[in-house]
Structure 1
Amino acid sequence: MGRVIRSFKQTVELKEVVQYLKCLANKLSKEFPNLRWYLFGSLLRQEALPSDVDLLIIYQCGVDTGKLRTKLSAMCLRLPIDLLLLREDEESELSFIAEQSAMCIFPL
C-alpha cells in the first residue's frame, strides 16, 4: 500500500473529499481509462478525527501503476491520501470492497 501523506490541518467533510476526488478521477481518466475509485476507512465511517483519506483504485492489467501513483501524488496536494491499488482480479479474490464496505466514487 503506498502512502501520500500530508497532515489534516482542518476538519474535512466527506462530501468535500468525494467531490475533490471525483474531479481528480475525471482528469486522470483521460490518461488512465477504466479505473474505479473507492473510499473506505475512517473518513467514510465518519470517525471524529480521521488521519488520512483511504482511497482504493481498481485497475486493469497493463496500467502503469507507478505513473498513476506519481500523477495522483502530484495532483492531490490538499489531502493526506493512503492509496491502495488493486487489479480487478486481486479485488475479486480478496473481496476488499465488500469487506471494507467501500463506497464507489468514480465512475458513477
Structure 2
Amino acid sequence: MRAYLFGSALREASSPNDLDVLIVYQIGSLSGVHALADRLRKIDTLPLVEVIALNEEEECETNFIESVGAKEFWRD
C-alpha cells in the first residue's frame, strides 16, 4: 500500500482547499485501505483530508498519479 498527496496542497501549499490523499493498494487488501482511510479522515486538521483509493490495476489504467502530479509520502 502506498499513499500520495495531490491537488491544492501541492499547488497552493500556504492555503490548500483540502488535503487530497490517494491510496494505491493491492487487490485483496481493501480492509486495510478502509482502516487507513478512516484514520486519515479522523485527523483533526483544517483543511480536511479527502481520501481516494485505487487498486494497482486501476491506477495503471487511469495513470492517475502522473496525471495529477501526485507525490508519494508513505509506503507500507
How far apart, in 1, do the equivalents of 2:41 and 2:15 lie? Answer: 22
* Pair 1:37 & 2:7 matched: no
Structure 1 counterpart of 2:45: 78
State the Cα RMSD in Å.
1.8
Give the letter aligned to residue 52 of structure 2: L
Number of the residue aligned with 2:25: 59
Bigger CA radius of gyration: 1
1:98 aligns with 2:73: no
Indicate the percent of aligned positions where both proteins have the same amino acid. 38
- Any gaps of 5 or more consecutive residues in structure 2? none
> Structure 1 residues 58, 46: closer, same or farther in 2, change over 3 A?
same
What is the DSSP-based 3-state SS (H/G/I as helix, E as strand, rest coil) of the residue aligned with 2:53? Answer: strand
Count of residues paired in the alignment: 72
2: CA distance, partners of 1:43 / 1:70: 20
More strand by percentage: 2
The residue number in structure 1 matching 2:15 is 49
Structure 1: tracts of 5 or more residues without a match: 1-34
Contact 2:41 2:51 in 1 (8 A): no
**What's the CA shift for 1:46?**
2.2
Instruction: Give TM-score, length-normalised by structure 1.
Output: 0.58
What SS does structure 1 have at the residue aligned with 2:58? helix
Separation in 1 of the partners of 2:38 and 2:16? Answer: 24
